[in-house]
Amino acid sequence: MAKKAKTAISPTREEDYPEWYQQVIRAADLAEISPVRGCMVIKPWGWAIWENMQRELDRMFKETGHENAYFPLFIPMSYLEKEAEHVEGFAKECAVVTHHRLEPNADGDGLTPAGPLEEPLIVRPTSETIIGVMYAKWIQSYRDLPILINQWANVVRWEMRTRMFLRTAEFLWQEGHTAHATRQEALDETRLMLDVYARFAEEFMAMPVIKGEKTADERFPGAVQTLSIEAMMQDRKALQAGTSHFLGQNFSRAQDMTFQNQEGEEEFCWTTSWGVSTRLVGALIMTHSDDDGLVLPPRLAPKHVVILPICRSDEDRATVLPYCESLKQDLAKQTFAERPVEVMIDDRDLRGGEKNWYHIKRGVPLRVEVGPKDIAKNGVFVGRRDTGEKSPAGRDEFVTNIGRTLESIQENLFARALKLREDNTRPIGDLEEFKAFFTAKNTKKPEIHGGFASCHFVEDPAVLELLKKLKVTIRCVPLAADDESAPEGTCIFTGQPTRQRGIFAKAY
């Protein structure tokens, strides 16, 4: 007999956060590790979440003037060699294609690669180079600019250690690549897309983020400036959720991407690139889920409401099922976030409790039980995933209020996540306090500790060395704090005077 567990997920977040994360994914049936090293299979429920993310992001990209296109998976090795810093950054983790066919082995058992390529191809770890080559062909005049293109694609980075959604060898993402006539225009674009990401994270994922600039050592290989959004997960570690890079003229120089300006002079383009990946699904999981499994913000949930018919007999079925069907119809006519409410009926022949837990673990925002007793009162019995509240409601009242209820769940999740971040963010002006903040009491099995520390600092090799020892990273220099009026302070590591303040945290 199965012991009645207190929580649906074991271990709990407190007991073992990384293991909890894996178990949530499994319990919600989002994805599964595949037989292919470092690669995962995204299952229907996980894919549906990604599709919703894509839909909203794609809409936002288009609203800001971008178009979609598609570039090849393979990139000639020589392309990668053009931008020195870029190669340095990605060379260590490239999948390389060296042959174009297979032949039977001499002993007739198995296959062996044959037909070596004259020039090896790499599987794109990102597409700056191939896209740059194409842009160079497309751009002659300032009239050809700007080019504002996005692509939805898969990329491969041969990571040593992988974790589902957070870091896999192959992952899905979108990468925007733009080319502009002026530096300022490219800078504006970089910032615009960061704002799009931040808005998406906060409004759709209900995940508060800090917008900031990366320090030199955390910058995208080849970029002049890297902006990112950083979120705090429930174990108080930071997760970089999206990046927007100002590439200056580094890539356009390397790829000879030039245009003639209005004065007839030849100039290099100013380019940007920006991306978010399936990592966002991981961020979503770690931001909201609890010890009973996944919790989905309504704006990204594949289903908003699941109706659970309670039938004890065939006679019950005859009345309950039609009632559920009509409830579904009525709910589907309602809207939430300018879209129809998504409803499903789960009439599988399973026990009530089992079905209930199934949907709890998958994070469906609202569960509605409908049985003969409810029907007699023309009511429903509603369970809210975010708060765990369960209460009876009148059928019509429930239907009319559905949009508002979902909105309140969305807001509650955001507020809860924001509170977690605020409770665990603090300014630190003293090195000893800084060390204590980031040191677990239990050295063998570190408990959840630390958070975001906001500190004055200067960029210095000695600082990086110390941070490395503590396993702490500079997440970013928040954009809001980056102005002339920022208060003067002293670097907590070197004692030098500085206005620069950064967010420090352990990170994924």
Where does this chain bind RNA (CB under 7 A)? 1-2, 4-5, 7-9, 33, 37, 89, 92-93, 157, 159-162, 166-169, 171, 220, 240-241, 243, 277-279, 292, 310, 312, 351-354, 356-358, 360-361, 369-374, 381, 383, 388, 390, 468, 471
Distance CA 381, CA 393 (A): 6
At a CB cut-off of 8 Å and minimum separation 6, what does 143 contact?
A: none
Helices (H), 219-313: 250-254, 279-288
- The torsion defined by the Cα of 43, 47, 48 and 54, in degrees rounded to 10, comes to 180
Minimum CB separation from RNA for residue 2, in Å?
A: 5
Minimum CB separation from RNA for residue 160, in Å?
A: 3
Nearer to RNA, 228 or 234 (CB): 228
Nearer to RNA, 152 or 357 (CB): 357
Nearer to RNA, 175 or 189 (CB): 175
Minimum CB separation from RNA for residue 141, in Å?
A: 34
Nearer to RNA, 301 or 368 (CB): 368
Nearer to RNA, 339 or 471 (CB): 471
Minimum CB separation from RNA for residue 64, in Å?
A: 21
Minimum CB separation from RNA for residue 381, in Å?
A: 4
Minimum CB separation from RNA for residue 358, in Å?
A: 6
- Tell me the CA distances in angstroms from 93 to 126, 151, 224, 282, one per residue in order: 11, 22, 22, 22
Nearer to RNA, 365 or 383 (CB): 383
Q: Is 466 helix (H, G, I), strand (E, B) or coil?
A: helix
Is residue 378 within 8 Å of residue 323, measured between CB atoms? no
Nearer to RNA, 269 or 343 (CB): 343
Q: How many CB atoms lie within 10 A of CB 395?
A: 19
Minimum CB separation from RNA for residue 258, in Å?
A: 28
Helices (H), 237-377: 250-254, 279-288, 314-333, 352-362, 372-376
For the chain, what is the radius of gyration of the CA atoms?
A: 26
Minimum CB separation from RNA for residue 385, in Å?
A: 9
Nearer to RNA, 139 or 473 (CB): 473
In this structure, the chain runs to a length of 508
Q: Which two tokens stand for residue 310?
A: 């309670």
Is residue 176 within 8 Å of residue 273, measured between CB atoms? yes
Is residue 409 within 8 Å of residue 385, measured between CB atoms? yes
Picking from 223, 218, 221, the residue whose alpha carbon sits closest to that of residue 271 is 223
Q: Is 191 helix (H, G, I), strand (E, B) or coil?
A: helix
Q: Which two tokens stand for residue 358?
A: 């199934």
CA 491 to chain CA mean position, Å = 32
Nearer to RNA, 352 or 394 (CB): 352
Minimum CB separation from RNA for residue 171, in Å?
A: 4
Beta bridge mates, 267: 259
